[in-house]
Amino acid sequence: MSKTSIENLKNRYSSSTSKGNSKKELSISKMNKNAALGATGKPKNMKETIIRLFKYLSKERVVLIISLICVILQTIASLTASYLLRPIINKFIYYDGSSDLKSRISGLIIGLIFMAIVYAISIITQWLQQRLMLTVSQKALKKMRNDLMNKLQSLPISYFDKQSAGDIMSRFTNDVDAVGEMLSNTLIKIISGAITIIGSVILMLYTNLILGSITIISTPLLVYASKSIVKKSKGAFSEQQKNLGLMGGFVEETISGQKVVKVFNHEKIAMEEFDLINDELANSQIKAQFRSGIMGPVTHQLCNMIYAISSCVGGLLIVKKGFDIGGMAVSLNFTRRFNRPINEISMQMNVVMSSLAGAERVFELLDSEPEKEENETTKIDEIKGDVEINNVSFGYVPETIVLRNITLSAKQGQKIAFVGSTGAGKTTITNLLSRFYSIVSGTITIDGVSIEKIERSVLRSNIAMVLQDTHLFTGTIRENIRYGRLDATDEEVEIASKVASAHSFISKLPKGYDTILENDGANLSQGQRQLLNIARATISKAPILILDEATSSVDTRTEKHIEKGMVELMKNRTTFVIAHRLSTVRSADCIKVLEKGQIIESGTHEELLELKGRYYELYNELAELE
């Protein structure tokens, strides 16, 4: 295999997912990077991003206002304490022969006590504003995460086809954490720094117009240096956040597919690809951190130059103009204080850029188009299960049609089976029935009502599905079965398990139905997980049932064992069955044979065998294999 370059990886991972008719066809590698490469370049609209962040903060506007008042009080108290040095030095430390030692010492003590009180006020208000700001920021992040989760629940299945799970997770963690760092710490430092700058300017000019002017005139140099570095940092931090998502996606997908990696001896290739992604992340972080990190030293040295110039001019003013020593000390102190917040704000720009880049990725997800409901919906009190599919065509992408003019009818309680080659479009039909995707043309009706006029929540609550790919949630076996109907009793859970032939193995577990399942039920076999999946559908009272390779993960003996249960499961339900084992579809009321997105044959098992067409060929081929 030729050495993979990062450009090839990006092109491969960012390419559109080719969607098969039955399911996504993705290699372990191709699943890693789809969405992580979506956000590129500089923040698209920094102003809009900042406004949206402040909207989250405004939810706690009272606490935020109190926090800002504390910031103002803390800054004023700190500036006041610094200015008190002038009278203390001039009256009680610098000796001019006009007062005795005892009165100077007592005055110095009183002055220091007063300074201590002012500093105490500064410390208390600083502690209070930090505590309040943490509350505000964490509540804002809580709201942001809730919005993200709510948005995910409203997004169509097609969104998740194009995005890697790791990148979505990165937006919940890396990007939200970056925003949290700015809201809880950086924002207050910037506000406090701005107030300190304004206060220092006023007190510097009041103390000495010349020294104050020197510091103020030099400010544009600091601002220009900071602005130049910040401008170069924006794109670097966007690239860093993008690559963090890239890394998360790759690691998550590789870990979840570790068995496949090992069985195909893909470890070396996976490591090579990881090294490339890791290098890309490291390079982007070096670039981002260096460009922002250099800001501090540059501005710090410029501040030192201004301080040195102010010191020299101040010394001349004392000698030539009789400028007081206390005023000189305070002026230099304010020069340092004036430059320090500029320096700190400059150093915080790396956090700001990283946060804004992360916020844009969060808002990008929040702005994704949700599943749309029709403006007018039809209220249905009870769905019976009469399904009509009339001349339906569909493509996952507009230019590629995978279903062509599909027409079929299923009455309440009938069993319709789909057979055909892999990629013929069997699963796609059931996906359209559940409104996971919108049809291009044609209509699908249930009980005479177009499914587009039925609310998705109502529609899907009346459809139970058993998929080939099982998914179990962290929790007890009982909770996972009850997922099919949350109000089901413990007795109903056990009855459903018996119908699905799952009760036997569940009873043998140490904690039975209270056994905790983790990591998608990794402590169970694939067949046992599928039986729980079937039990979950059994407990549902949905009038429409979809079985997509429902018994593919169980052996033939177990399949025979649960046939009676499956008959019970399908009783009085309109059932759509997809199966490669033709023995499971013999009893269907009608079998639809699909090839290349079209129904080419239709009839019962016996009728299709008599035709000696495609179904006859499939049946004989599989009979030989069995």
pLDDT tens for residues 76-127? 888 888 888 788 877 777 656 566 677 778 888 888 888 889 889 989 998 9
* Residues with Cβ within 8 Å of residue 250, at least 6 apart in sequence: 32, 33, 166, 273, 274, 277
Domain annotation covers residue 18: no
Task: Write out the residue range of the structural domain in which residue 552 sits.
Answer: 384-462+546-558+574-626
Alpha-carbon distances, residue 470 vs 466, 507, 527, 552 (angstroms):
8, 21, 10, 11
Same-domain check for residues 187 and 265 = yes
In CATH, what number is assigned to the domain containing residue 299? 1.20.1560.10
Number of domains composing the chain: 3
Domain annotation covers residue 240: yes
From 366, 398, 432, the end of a domain falls on 366
Long-range contacts from 122-130, C-beta under 8 angstroms, 24+ separation? 122/73, 122/74, 122/77, 122/78, 122/81, 125/70, 125/71, 125/73, 125/74, 125/77, 126/70, 126/74, 128/67, 128/70, 129/67, 129/68, 129/70, 129/71, 129/74, 129/188, 130/188
Domain annotation covers residue 79: yes
Same-domain check for residues 601 and 535 = no
C-alpha radius of gyration, the chain, whole number: 35
Q: In the chain, which stretches have pLDDT less than 70?
A: 1-44, 94-100, 222-223, 225-227, 229-234, 256, 259, 263-264, 292, 295-296, 299-300, 339, 343, 346-347, 350, 373-376, 552-556, 558-559, 561-565, 580-583, 622-626
Alpha-carbon distances, residue 67 vs 77, 132, 246, 274 (angstroms):
15, 6, 37, 45
Same-domain check for residues 207 and 336 = yes
Q: What is the pLDDT of residue 18?
A: 36
Q: What is the pLDDT of residue 209?
A: 82
Domain annotation covers residue 156: yes
CA–CA gap between residue 15 and residue 12 (Å, rounded): 6
Nearest alpha carbon to residue 254 among 242, 240, 264, 239? 264
Same-domain check for residues 113 and 192 = yes
Q: What is the pLDDT of residue 15?
A: 39
Same-domain check for residues 443 and 398 = yes
Angle at 625 between CA 623 and CA 626, to 5 degrees: 65
613-617-623-626 Cα dihedral, nearest 10 degrees: -140
Q: What is the pLDDT of residue 591?
A: 92
0.85 exceeded by pTM: no
Same-domain check for residues 455 and 475 = no
Same-domain check for residues 521 and 601 = no
Same-domain check for residues 355 and 259 = yes
In CATH, what number is assigned to the domain containing residue 533? 3.40.50.300
From 312, 336, 366, the end of a domain falls on 366
> Tokens 């929040």, residue?
366
Same-domain check for residues 106 and 185 = yes
Domain annotation covers residue 445: yes
Same-domain check for residues 431 and 453 = yes
Same-domain check for residues 150 and 294 = yes
Q: What is the pLDDT of residue 24?
A: 35
Same-domain check for residues 422 and 483 = no
Domain annotation covers residue 148: yes
Domain annotation covers residue 454: yes
Domain annotation covers residue 35: no
CA–CA gap between residue 186 and residue 193 (Å, rounded): 10
Whether 281 contacts 247, CB under 8 Å: yes
Sign of the dihedral through C-alpha 102, 105, 111, 117: negative
